[in-house]
Amino acid sequence: MIRNPVLPGFHPDPSILRVGDDYYLATSTFEWYPGVRVHHSRDLVHWRSLGGVLTDRRLLDLSGVPDSGGIWAPDLTYANGLFHLVYGVMDNYGHGFKDICNYLVTAPSIDGPWSDPVQLPGRGFDAALYHDEDGTSYLLNMVFDSRPGRGFAGIELQPLGGGEPRLILENRHITEGPHVYKIDGWYYLMVAEGGTGYEHGATVLRSRSLEGPYEPDPAGPMFTSRHDPGLELQKAGHGCLVQTQDGDWYVAHLAARPSTPRGRCVLGRETAIQHVEWVDGWPRVAGGVAVVEVPAPALPPHPWPPAEEEWSTLRRPASPDWVTFDGDQVTIKGGQSPYGLRSPSLVARRVTGMKCAFEASVTFEPGSVHQSAGITAYYNSRNWYHLAITTDGLVLTGSDRGARTVHFTGDPASRLGLEFDGPVLRFSCDGKPIPVELDATTLSDEYADEIIDGQIRAFGFTGAFVGLWVQDLAGEGGRATFHDIRYRLLEDVGEPLREE
């Protein structure tokens, strides 16, 4: 069986692709490096991370992007012996504007090397490619109209090499995330609708012509969770189809698992896979809902060996001038404050379970009040917790939508830890619990959303992280070394289930 989510934790907007016997999933990474995370499978059940495609500033510059800006909805395709990756970099999404640049890179192998980015039209986001049978490639994207009172304007299509764009579908209900497939003489257009929250869903339309008109499946959405708050997988939508070697069909899509019905999603938006049946010429998911257990294709099981720790870095790529990895040891040169958007020194990994633990030993001597080092439970620049060694001793600070609070002070410690216990977050030092229970749900997509007087101030698209954070606000060269770093999932707090 396929057990959903196949990619737990922050892995939204999946683009799935099969090349021969290999399946690839590309997902959004927003303000985190490496950009566009790719996973690999040979049976749709077991997945391994191949890391990120966009590893340096030649391919991606995230300096200064807002929280939940950066990489939005990548699209991975294969044609003419090349992998094609289309991605958008969102510099601003507020005040009725979407400042986005779309890019295309190609490579002969999923491992690269990837070409220099080619800039594509940026009239909207969620750009994707369709490679037609005659060899012509087309660019799809949703159109964003920034005039007051406008916004989502539909889906457009244009030849990749140039030519006038054509609107092939008018906006229905926040229509975005387009993908086109040609099957048995029909062009099928799959789109996401309803927004990426609890009204989310995926709709399929079809036409005999690539340029439309497209008619929707009379049965309604291909799948959605909007009508049933009791479903384990909520927010189901933004799908992408794939056909197996044996002719079976599946759809990869994003979903989320709130801790309470329609509550906050600390794990962010995750990737799930559903089986697809063709009924009367339409691709459909049984019952129109996303489920946790799905029959796997009749492919030989292909588990992968245990993976090494995989880190992400915030807004700047990992480079030797500020971070080095030596086995289980990570040395970090301090960077900007928590609210700086250019050069923070945060090395982190996704939270993948509602109950999990993270700990590390740290060697650090703060040289001034401008320096600190420790561990963090982090969502974005405005919502985080940081247990740090400072000149004032050990300090646990939280930021709640930008308002800082000191929750605990104590003597310095060498071993720092934290535990997520559903909606509760606890920290520890040298194996002893800190007597403070914190609200873990402030590290959620829903809490990160800030809309004031109808104007978007911030979106929450990323999910929670745990990691290693060093600050050196005066740029005086402060460094910290972390070792014996452990992340594990828990059945009950204190009971190890498995290490990732």
Question: What backbone torsions phi and psi does residue 250 show, to the nearest 5 degrees?
Answer: -140, 160
**Residue 439 bears catalytic tag:** no
Is-cis flag, bond preceding 108, omega within 30?
A: no
Structure tokens at 273: 């896979």
Residues 487/466, Cβ–Cβ less than 8 Å:
yes
Number of H helices, E strands in the chain: 1, 42
Rounded to whole angstroms, how far apart are CA atoms 303 and 221?
33
DSSP 8-class letter at 194: S
Active-site annotation holder among 176, 193, 270, 419 = 176
Rounded to whole angstroms, how far apart are CA atoms 236 and 200?
6
Name every residue whose Cβ is closer than 8 Å to that of residue 306 and which is 6 or more positions away in sequence. none
**Residue 211 bears catalytic tag:** no
Residues 120/107, Cβ–Cβ less than 8 Å:
no
Residues 458/333, Cβ–Cβ less than 8 Å:
no
User: How many CA atoms does the CB half-sphere of 54 hold within 13 Å?
Assistant: 34
Structure tokens at 491: 């059945």
79-110 b/e with 16+ CB inside 10 Å = b?
Answer: eeeebbbbbbbbbebbebebebebbbbbeeeb
Name every residue whose Cβ is closer than 8 Å to that of residue 51 and which is 6 or more positions away in sequence. 34, 37, 38, 310
Rounded to whole angstroms, how far apart are CA atoms 62 and 181?
32
List, by residue number, the catalytic residues. 13, 176
